[in-house]
Every structure is written in C-alpha cells, then in structure tokens.
Homo-oligomer: A and B are copies of this chain.
Amino acid sequence: MLDCDVLVVGAGVLGLSSAYHIKRNDPKKRVLIIDRNGGPGQGNSAKSEGAFRNIFTSETNYLLADSTIDWFFHLQNNLGYDLKLAPIGYLWLYSEAHHSRLEYAFDTMRRRGVELRTFEKEDLKRMVPDLVTDFNGDEEAELLGLEDVDVGVLGVKCGSVDADALVRSYESEFLKLGGEIRYSTTATRLILKPEEELGIPGEPFVWQESRVAGAETSRGDILAGTSVVAAGVWSERLLDPIGFDAAMRPKKRQLFVFKDPRLKGLLDVKELNEYGALPLTILPRAGVYLKGELTEGSIWLGCADELGRSFGLEDDPQPEEDYYTDNIYHVLVKYFPCFKDVRPVNMWAGQYAINSFDGIPVVAPAPGMIYVGAASGSGIMKSDALGRIVAALHAGEEEAELYGGRLFRVADIGIADRNVERETFII
C-alpha cells in the first residue's frame, strides 16, 4: 500500500544527495523526492555563496567537508559535470594578537593534514595591492574598531563551486538510477500512524508506538516506508507539528554582487591561487567576507551578523541595500578603498539553518523518519557526506563510508547519542 519506499521532502542539495545515496545503495528501492519549487535547489541551496572549505575546528565538520570536496572533484573530473570548481582558497586576515589566539586551532588542522599557508603583512601587500593593512593614525578606523592586518592564513583546499550545477549533477545521477522527482509539490504535513493500526478514529493514541508514515502534500497523500525531511529552514514547518525539534533556527544572510572597473585588481591578485581571483577573504572585523567570482568576473560579498539579526523563518527574505551602505561599506572601504562609491549591481538573501548548540549538522532518526539539516550555513560543502550518512542510517548501518573511504559513526551526528566538538570557525 506504500507509494514509495523512501520519500525525500526537499530537492535542495541535502535532499538530493540523501536520495541519490539511498538509491545508489539499494537501486531496487523506490525513492521519490518532492519539492514545492519547480526545479532542484531553488530554496536556499541556489542562494548560497557557492564556497567550500575544509577549514573547520571540529573533526566532524572537517571530515564532512573534506570528503565532500573530494566528491566535487570526482563529479567534475571523472563524471563530467562542470561544477565550475575553482580552488581559489579561503584567506583569513588577522591582527597579530588575534592570530596568536588561534594558533592552537590551526595546529590542530595541520595535524589532520590540512594544507594551510601563512603570510606576513609584506607578503599580503605584494599579493593583494588593493588591501590596506595599517590604520595607524586613522581616527575613523579607530572609531570603527578596525584591527590592522598582520597575518593571512590561506586554506588551500577551499574555493568556489557552482551550487546550481552541483544540485543538477545530483539530480541527474539520481534520475539515471531510476529515482523519481515531483516538483511543484508541497509537503503540508507529516502523517503520523501507529505501528499497529487498530482502525479506531483518533489514532495514534499516546499508548501506541507511532511513526511517520509519509506526508500530506498539495497533490495528495504520499505514504512511504521512510520519510527523509531535508527541507532546510522549512523543515520546522513539518517537524514542529509532530513535536520533533529541527535543532536549528533560521537566520537571514545577504549577498551583494559588484562588477566595476575599480575592482579589477581583486581579480588579478598574485601568488594566492592560479586564477588571480581574490580568495574568499574574511576581514578581521565585522564578519565581512568577499571573493572573486570567476564565472562572471564579479566580486561577491556577505557579512555574518550575529547579535541583532533576528531568528525566524521567512519564505522570501529580502536583501537590504542599506545593510551594505550603512553597515558593511564603512568597514569594507577601509580595508579595500577600491570599493569607494561602488554600489552593488545585484543582491539577494537566503536563510541559514543555524544550530546554536554546536554549529554542526544533524542527521537524526525518528520512527519512520530521518531528519537531515541544521547545516548552519555550510551544508553544500558537506552535502555528499551528509547524504551518505542519511543512507547509512536508513540501511541500519552503524558507520557511513564517506567518499574516499573514511568511516563516520552515524550516531555521532544524531541527537540521542551526539558526539561532536563544537565548531568555532563559523563564518
């Protein structure tokens, strides 16, 4: 009487990866993805900055990202998907004092085999001539609380990926295996049923073992053996009514795009990568980050606002131009005066699904259900590993084999038996 073995709610990158790996593990299973949008990744996946890094303080995040990055290169180099991978690096800029506080974290990463390059101020000046490193005597900079740039730390296995191409590669591989997708189909409610139905109105009762049995959707009920909830920030709309904690809160994040002759130096930096593009560069203050986007010869810029930026689900979050002009601009133009009077040519906003407890994603089961989410803004770069963990959990395996062969204990990233270190390198 089931409509499918596995129903995956959400054709974002986590839903697609989960569906693909479940289907790949067991091609006889009927796996169906539904999404309220008309195509893959049209929630927050495609709104992302499209960046990846293996630079995390927690071993868990490192494993998830590092193996997923390897998978990206496998998709592009061996399976022929043009993901526009550009390992331009991530470049953290620090004052001397700030950098020395983080030495232990960087040492831990190096011991894992993570490739980091450290640059002194003089190197940075040579490589990125547009960067201002010293604010000595600049009263405005002092007012802004700006720190000098003394050190740069470059993560090498880091860079850009085309998020849209990535979700389409998963979609394509999934469909090749015989997976099914229904777009423009909104899951409105998870269906709870007792494990053993008695046919009494009002079931499930509190004395019955109940389980998720599928979903009500805008195109009728879909009954499934297992329902995978991978709806990103929207997961709370499905999980709150059944009393399952999505373990995240949605928070808006904005991106601003610049294309201006005055910024051409940022697409012609030296020695940092083979592309000449500014790595994804994190300024010492105010959470501002920017990167050279090779696909369109532009600069993409965001800003991590923490205290003061509300939590709360929005269906269509809007960018705020004054967030750039009144907030980011004043800091940005001090470090990069080339932005003087340059205004964004494009901007958009999406939402992060922030896990405030430890900053690490969640893959957690309930009867008849698997929830994957709470990726805290770095879900794309962990997508392949998370999909494999979902598939392992679905298959009842204790360990998931990540791409490249490393093993990951599935329960570590759940809730009931969670065993992760809190991530401190959240951008």
Contacts and interface: CB of A to CB of B under 8 A. Distances in A.
Contact of A207 (B207, B285, B309, B356): B285
Contacts of A205: 326-327, 330
Contacts of A287: 206
A120 B240 CA distance: 41
A415 B308 contact: no
A251 interface: yes
A251 B328 CA distance: 39
Contacts of A303: 206
Contact of A308 (B143, B242, B310, B323): B242
Contacts of A209: 145
A208 interface: yes
Interface string A327-362: 110110000000000000000000000101100000
A240 B311 contact: yes
List the 10 shortest-distance A-B pairs measured between CB atoms, nearest first: A245-B356, A207-B286, A206-B327, A240-B311, A243-B309, A207-B331, A241-B310, A357-B357, A205-B327, A206-B305
A110 interface: no
Contacts of A210: 307-308
B202 A308 contact: no
Given A145-B209, A206-B303, A245 B327 contact: no
Interface in A257-316: 285-287, 303, 305-312
Stoichiometry, copies per complex: 2
Interface of A: 143-146, 192, 198, 202, 204-210, 239-245, 247, 249, 251, 285-287, 303, 305-312, 322-323, 326-328, 330-331, 354, 356-357, 366-367, 415-418, 422
Contact of A307 (B242, B285, B354): B242
A209 B422 CA distance: 23
Contacts of A309: 243
A355 to B, nearest CB: 9
A243 B251 contact: yes
A144 B327 contact: no
17 contacts: A205-B330, A206-B287, A206-B331, A207-B286, A207-B331, A210-B307, A210-B308, A240-B249, A240-B312, A242-B308, A243-B306, A243-B308, A243-B311, A244-B307, A416-B422, A417-B422, A418-B422
Contacts of A307: 192, 210, 242-244, 366-367
B243 A415 contact: no
Contact of A202 (B146, B207, B208, B326): B326
Contacts of A323: 206
A145 B208 contact: yes
Contacts of A418: 357, 422
A413 B328 CA distance: 34
A321 to B, nearest CB: 13
A336 to B, nearest CB: 14
Contact of A356 (B247, B251, B310): B247
Contacts of A240: 249, 310-312
A340 B265 CA distance: 83
Contacts of A308: 192, 204, 206, 210, 242-243
A168 B249 CA distance: 35
Contacts of A249: 240, 245
Contacts of A306: 243
A244 B251 CA distance: 10
Contacts of A241: 310
A286 B309 CA distance: 41
Scoring A192, A205, A285, A322 by chain B CB atoms within 10 A of each residue's CB, the highest score goes to: A205
Contacts of A416: 422
B415 A357 contact: yes
A320 B308 CA distance: 39
A193 to B, nearest CB: 10
Scoring A207, A241, A303 by chain B CB atoms within 10 A of each residue's CB, the highest score goes to: A207
